[in-house]
Structures are given as structure tokens and as C-alpha cells.
Structure 1
Amino acid sequence: MHIPTIVGDAFAKWTGRQSANDLSTAVQFPDAVDVPLDSRRLIRNRRYCNVLSKHCELEFDSVSLECARKALEHDMAYVPQGIVRLMQDVVVEEDRRYRLKQSTFVPVQVESFFLDRDCVTNADYARFVQAGGYEDHQYWPQETLAWVLQFVDRTGHVGPNMWSHGQPPADLLDHPVVGICWYEANAYARWVGKRLPTTAEWQRAGTWPHMRTGAAAEQRFPWGNAFVRSKANLWKHGGCATIPVDALNDGNTPNGVRQLIGNVWEWLDSRFDSASEGDVKIILEEVLAEVRGGAFDTYFASQATCQFRTGQPVLNRPHNVGFRCCISATDLRSSTENSENN
């Protein structure tokens, strides 16, 4: 069975559609012109998961639900459940000295989910800023409210630190948004009705399907085990800055997720720390969130595999870290639920 068929079959179980090849061809983002105004605004602002979420208390008509499903199908890829093996560094004490033990691999079960095909762009994030996302407390945890308005751009307006006057550079609208901290990434994800992926989910997206069995079944890159510099925007690709999120399609995953490797590191919904053995305790000066995938200025390809893990302080706003969002398949209304509500 071909990979597009596998993906299509899995997606069809959620949508109730018969075709197994729904995702094998490009789908246009729906115009939503025939959708009621409130739903149209949500869908056009890429907030369609607020329409589709089974946790939403609002009811939507069948036209809105169908349009939102088409928007999700356009923007997101289905990743089936499975097991990943997370690389874990362990700090041990030997002869009164500390050393980093050879990495171990911990199996983790991942449930089915949908992942953004692209990193969030400057244009995407601008909609959040213009909608007052920084001033709306519902998208920010309580501990951040005292200083959330200090997340400002070069001119003192709220927004990513690479922007000016609350606006992204006009020539970088289709580039991944950078200069945002972990809290800002999470706030945007809540606004669109999604969340950041966990480290296990991110790795699952980049390493399935396994082409062979055994301990080494996971591939190192979305396209295979050999690094190919033309497939990812890393230092060796020759770039010195970000590129549009839809570039370098040769490096896509089989189900159409772009640039998991390279262009920008990606914030994840997982705290980063090292494990320890015995009585060893690790105390970090700052809380770190995990980032994955490497960036345009990552020199070593070994740091841009699907298994490599590192972290950034949650308040850092780096020039080379962006993010993409996801949603669990179980958090979406099924087609049966939709028909019952209509």
C-alpha cells in the first residue's frame, strides 16, 4: 500500500469520507464565503480548530464544520499513533566526578494527532497581534501577566523582537516567525485552538513510517538516514537566514510536513533537562523548554536529526527559533458528532 493511501485511510476514519487518497492531492484553502460571519472570521484567521474542537461550547452549522475540516486538511497533516524512542542523556557520578553517560533510548507511545504542515509565519502571527492577543489574558498563564506587555519589538510595540512598529518585515511575511519566547508561542497556539507538540509527537512526525523493523527502525531525517544538504536549510545548505516555509519540498515528510529539519528550531511543549542516576541532582539556573530540528545557522548535521534534543530558556526570544502547532485527533469532532449536532 502506498503512503498517501495509508494517510488517506487514517484521515478518512476521522472525517467519514470514503476516498483513501484525499491527502494525496493538493487541497485549496477554503474561501469560506458561504459560511456565517463569525465562523468565516475564525476560518480565515486560521482558527478553524476552534470550530472543530469537541471542547468548544459553541454550536456551528454543517457548512461551517465542513469548511473548517477543509481548512484543517489544507494546513495540517495526520500523524498516526505509534511508538518513538526518545534519546535521553544521563548524568552519573564516578570517582567523585560527573560525566554524561552514553545516550539511552526510552520508548514512548504517541497517540494520533494533526500537525501543521508549516511553521507559523510572520503573516500568521501578525493576525494574532492585530487581534489583541497580547492584551487578552485568556491566552497567557497567570504568572506571565505582569510582564507579558514587555514582549516588544524593536520600536516598543508588542510583538516579536525582530519586528518594527508592531509589523513584520514586508518581505518576510511567508518566513517563519522568530524572536518570540516559549510563552508567546503557546499564546498563539491557544488563540488558534491548538497547542505545541510534545517532543515525542514531534519525533513521531519526522520518523514515521518505519521502512524496516528492529531497534534502529527510526530514520534520522524525514527523507531517510543520510544527510542531504539540498533538503534542509542548514549552514551547509549555504544559507545565512530563514527562507519561506514552503521551500525545499524535497525534504518533506511522506505526508507533507515541511521543514521539520532546518530553517528554524521549533519550540515544543516539553521541558528540557537531563536525567540522572543515583543521588545525583541536576539544578538548572533557568527553566528550559525543548527545541528541535536545527536552524539555518546550525553547522553540525548531527544536531539536526529527528532524534537530537536540546533546550532554550523559556523567556529567550532567539533569532532562529520558531514553532508549529498541533491538535490531538481525539480533540476533534467526528463526522458523526457533526451530523448529530445538525
Structure 2
Amino acid sequence: MAGVTRWTGREAGLLRKAMRKTGKAFAELVGVNPRQIPRWEGRGETLELSLANQAALDTVLAQADPAVQQRFATLLTERAAVEQDERAEELLRRDTRTSRHPVDGKLMTVVDEGIYLSGPDSRSVWLEPYRIDVYPTTNADYERFVSATGHRSPRHWSAGRCPDDLVTHPVVWVTWHDATAYARWAGKTLPTAQQWEKAARGPRGRLYPWGNDPTAAKCNVSETGIDATTPVSRYQSGVSPYGAFDLCGNVWEWCSTEEQPGSGRYELKGSAFTSPFERTTPSLQNAANATMQDNDTGFRCVSPP
């Protein structure tokens, strides 16, 4: 995984937890007095460690087992998401475009009617107004659907239940048919490829939701080194002009648009944590068979305004 840019007491504490070490055992690995560890963790982000200690922690992380590195990346991501959730919710509450859907309770944002610049050639396309989910459908959202309808659960759930550590992550291992069934239950539909693209690019044809700068740090793609889904509210700096999250990276999203009429293949948008950043542009075209399911494919829904 990628290294830590700046080690503070917070990151050191998360690494210790990921390694499942006592303070004494962790201190021996880092080469510091055991009394330092509770001090580091107690001061958290307010304590930037010395350069020597930062170098020692770099070495400990680099030499750790892949399972430890993955746990550390997950802990970092979950902590960031928790810290940002409250701020994100407050900002969304202030946004008059957002409201909660009466069936599945998801936040939705309004995309106004009008022309937007579509596709790699930025041609002008008119769309009627609609609402789109602010976040992709999460495992928690999908679990309510499964409980209400008896629909089959995704293959990565244990005993038909959503894993506790993935509640706020986008649901994956869902086919186009699964996504359509959820949308029908919620009184929504899957977005057309054009609806999805306008929500991501805005009316003026941005290359990315945040603008035209190719910044991989604004989304969960392969360059981040996380190699897994992340909570849907994680990347606030990558939000679209309409306030929608995760329209680049994290998971590919099913659309209702067929690649060719009658082909049984439907468009996918947005790229995923498995994708190189060069494939994140919302204008990019991708498609798959309706029965395809994978660990990097999910969806979000739209409804009338």
C-alpha cells in the first residue's frame, strides 16, 4: 500500500490496532520507550512525530503482512469517513436541492432541466429534470430491500446479513437485474447513461465531477492503493456540481441504457477502485451483460423531481 504522508499519534495508534499489538510490543517494533505509545495515542493528530520515529513507522508498515496493511488502510478510511459524515450531512441539510426519498430514505438531489455537454465530443443534449441519489446504494440500503422483499443477498454477505464493517460501503456483487429490482421496490429507476453523466459533469461539460484537473486523490481508484471499496461519503473533494458523491471511482454503476437495443448489455459508469484513474472520466463508455456481477460493481437510482 502507499505510505503515510505525515505520521501523527493518530496514525501510529491505528497501525498498532491493525497489527493487534500491545503498547509494549508495538514500542519494541518501532524502537521507542513503551511509555511513548499511550502519549502518542492520547495526543492524536495534535502530535506530529519526530522524523526518526516517522521513518521507523514507515519501515514497520512496509514490512507488515498484507493483511495488516489492509486492516490499516481500512481503519484510516473508516476514521476519515466518520469524521466527515457529520460535516457532509450538515452541508447537505443546508442544500435546498436535497430531500429524502419516502421509500428507501436515501438523500436525493435535483438535477435541473436543460442542456448539458455530453460524451467525449461534448455535444449538446437536453434532459428533463430528475432527482438522483446523492450516494451509491449502500449495503445497509440493500439490506432493507432484501429484508422487505426476500430478494437474494449478495454473495459476500454472511448468512444473508450485511457485514458490520461494510454498512456504509456501496453494495457490490449485484447484477443489472438485482439493481433494477431494488429500484422498482423503491419506486425509482436506474439512471439512463445521459442522466448519470449530467449528474457527474454538470451542464458545462466538466471532465470530472470536481472540474478539469486530473486529481486521483479525489476518488477511490487503483492509484490510491486501498484495493477495496470505501464508505460512500469518504471523498468530499470529489463531489459533483449537484452534490453527488462517488461519481468517479469506488464502484462501477449500472445504468438503464442498453449498449445496443436487444443486446442484453447495459452501460456502466464511473469506474471503480480496481480502475486506473485514466478510466474515471464520466464520458467514458463501458458496458456489461445484465447477468454480470463483480466486487467492483454497484448502482444508484433516479426518480422524477
TM-score bracket, shorter-length normalisation? 0.5 to 0.7
Aligned to 2:47: none
Aligned to 1:271: 258
Whole-Å separation in 2 of the counterparts to 1:110 and 1:234: 29
Pick the aligned partner of 1:163 from 151, 154, 157: 157
- Give the alignment of 1:190-229 within 5 angstroms: 190-210=184-204, 218-229=205-216
- Give the alignment of 1:88-237 within 5 angstroms: 107-134=124-151, 158-210=152-204, 218-237=205-224
Decide whether the 8 Å contact of 2:117 with 2:203 is kept in 1: no
Whole-Å separation in 1 of the counterparts to 2:191 and 2:213: 25
Decide whether the 8 Å contact of 1:47 with 1:191 is kept in 2: no
Decide whether the 8 Å contact of 1:86 with 1:108 is kept in 2: yes
Q: Aligned-pair distance for 1:237?
A: 1.9
How far does the alpha carbon of each residue in 1:67-92 deviate from its partner, in whole angstroms, 9 at most, with x for none?
Answer: xxxx67xx0111111223443xxxxx
How far does the alpha carbon of each residue in 1:185-217 deviate from its partner, in whole angstroms, 9 at most, with x for none?
Answer: 01101111111110110111111142xxxxxxx
Q: Which has the higher helix share?
A: 2
Decide whether the 8 Å contact of 1:111 with 1:328 is kept in 2: no
Pick the aligned partner of 1:239 from 219, 222, 226: 226
Does 1:81 pair with 2:75? Answer: no
SS in 2 for 1:27: helix
Paired amino acid for 2:220: N
Decide whether the 8 Å contact of 1:176 with 1:322 is kept in 2: yes
Paired amino acid for 1:200: Q
Q: Aligned-pair distance for 1:177?
A: 0.2
Count residues in correspondence. Answer: 213
Paired amino acid for 1:26: L
What are the ranges of 5 or more consecutive residues in structure 1 without an aligned counterpart? Answer: 1-22, 29-42, 51-70, 88-102, 135-157, 211-217, 275-283, 330-342
What are the ranges of 5 or more consecutive residues in structure 2 without an aligned counterpart? Answer: 1-88
Aligned to 1:297: 274
Aligned to 2:92: 26
Query: 1:161/1:209 Cα in 2 relative to 1: closer, same or farther (>3 Å)?
Result: same
Does 1:313 pair with 2:289? Answer: yes
Q: Percent identity?
A: 35
Does 1:259 pair with 2:246? Answer: yes
How far does the alpha carbon of each residue in 1:73-130 deviate from its partner, in whole angstroms, 9 at most, with x for none?
Answer: xx0111111223443xxxxxxxxxxxxxxx7665432111111000000011001111
Decide whether the 8 Å contact of 2:220 with 2:273 is kept in 1: yes
Q: Given the two structures, how large is their TM-score scaled by the length of structure 1? A: 0.58
Decide whether the 8 Å contact of 1:197 with 1:326 is kept in 2: yes
Whole-Å separation in 2 of the counterparts to 1:169 and 1:289: 28
Runs of 4+ residues deviating >2 angstroms? 23-28, 82-87, 103-108
Query: 1:207/1:201 Cα in 2 relative to 1: closer, same or farther (>3 Å)?
Result: same
Paired amino acid for 2:127: V
How far does the alpha carbon of each residue in 1:278-302 deviate from its partner, in whole angstroms, 9 at most, with x for none?
Answer: xxxxxx9x62110000000102x23
Q: Given the two structures, how large is their TM-score scaled by the length of structure 2? A: 0.64
Q: CA RMSD in A?
A: 2.5
Paired amino acid for 2:248: I
Decide whether the 8 Å contact of 1:49 with 1:194 is kept in 2: no
Decide whether the 8 Å contact of 1:48 with 1:193 is kept in 2: no
Query: 1:105/1:27 Cα in 2 relative to 1: closer, same or farther (>3 Å)?
Result: closer
Aligned to 1:249: 236
The one of the two structures with greater contact order (alpha-carbon pairs below 8 A, sep at least 6) is 1
